[in-house]
Amino acid sequence: MDPSVLQLIRAAIAEDVGPGDITCQYFVSESLRSKAKIVAREPGVMAGGDVAECVFREVDPGCGVIMRLPDGEAFSPGDILLEAEGKTRSLLTGERTALNFLQRLCGVATMARTYVDAVKPHPVQVWDTRKTTPGWRLLEKAAVKSGGAVNHRMGLYDHVMVKDNHLAADDSLENLQDAIDRIHKERPGVRVQIEAATLAQVADFLSLRGVDMLLLDNMSVEQLTHAVQITDGRVWLEASGGITLKTIAKVAATGVNAISVGALTHSARALDLGLDLF
């Protein structure tokens, strides 16, 4: 478990439990032991099982957890995602926090799978973005992968993305080339991507050395098709901007290499899951 994720789990437990679960303290005998199962109430894709398991073990190291579905596996209503066994108090204290993580992450994985299925049979990748819940990036991007989509950059530190506001500050091709040359010299292996909002910009940026990708922002299907033709495979092309389930198949058919969809993380809803004692 990544230390930052473990810290997040502990903070979530502390937020919910505070100085103690007073309902369990007064209404559930300390000697009772139970088994519990987390059950799907609707269809979806599994993600975050290790996080839910960690919640129960953080609440009580004596809890035993058995995963019934691996991350990435599709499930139907009534399917058991995991089972836990231990003190009844511990299971009930950890219930809500475990479900909060699992419902959210399964929702992201399910959203990702829906978009991935929508671009078939075109050989295009569906990418996520940095539009993630603060503090949840590692978890949500892992859920994106469980759904079959691809992580783009993790943050500002691992991939150069020269966007419209960077260009608004300085769009000189000479200065862009100097900066590209410096980044390749000082940070070899880092990919360089530039955002293009027009076909004229595509042509300009194609003339630069060391550009690995172009982000084609808010372009029409016709513009995307033309961009694919004029670049002729020399750089990777990412389509982005307002792409929905209704439009993504047409975008995929243009021949772009990747389609980024912020909705994978910023608009995924929590799935309906429940915990039942048995």
Asked if residue 90 is part of any domain, the answer here is yes
- In this structure, the number of other CB atoms found within 10 A of the CB of residue 117 comes to 12
What single-letter DSSP state applies at residue 60? -
pLDDT of 257 reads 98
Asked if residue 131 is part of any domain, the answer here is no
Give catalytic status of residue 2 as yes or no: no
Q: Which residue spans within the chain are E strands per DSSP?
A: 33-40, 44-45, 64-67, 74-75, 80-87, 125-127, 160-162, 192-196, 213-217, 236-240, 258-260, 273-277
Q: Please, what is the average pLDDT of the chain? A: 97
Q: Which residue spans within 174-240 are E strands per DSSP?
A: 192-196, 213-217, 236-240
Phi-psi region of 69 (alpha: psi -120 to 50; beta: other; left: phi over 0): beta
Kindly state the average pLDDT of the residues 230-257.
Answer: 97
With 90 as the cut, is the pLDDT of residue 1 above it?
no
Give catalytic status of residue 171 as yes or no: no
Rounded Cα–Cα distance for residues 184 and 180 (Å):
6
- Catalytic residue (choose from 35, 68, 96, 191): 96
pLDDT of 53 reads 98
155 and 93 inside one domain: no
172 and 103 inside one domain: no
Domain containing 176 equals 150-260
100 and 181 inside one domain: no
235 and 273 inside one domain: no
Report the SS3 class of residue 96: helix
Give catalytic status of residue 87 as yes or no: no
Asked if residue 139 is part of any domain, the answer here is no
85 and 179 inside one domain: no
With 90 as the cut, is the pLDDT of residue 144 above it?
yes
249 and 273 inside one domain: no
Write out pLDDT tens, residues 79-130. 999 999 999 999 999 999 999 999 999 999 999 999 999 999 999 999 999 9
- Catalytic residue (choose from 35, 37, 130, 131): 131
- Catalytic residue (choose from 163, 234, 250, 269): 163
Q: Which residue spans within 113-272 are E strands per DSSP?
A: 125-127, 160-162, 192-196, 213-217, 236-240, 258-260
Give catalytic status of residue 186 as yes or no: no
273 and 245 inside one domain: no
Alpha helices of 31-85 — where are they, by DSSP H? 49-59
Give catalytic status of residue 217 as yes or no: yes
- Catalytic residue (choose from 21, 53, 140, 217): 217
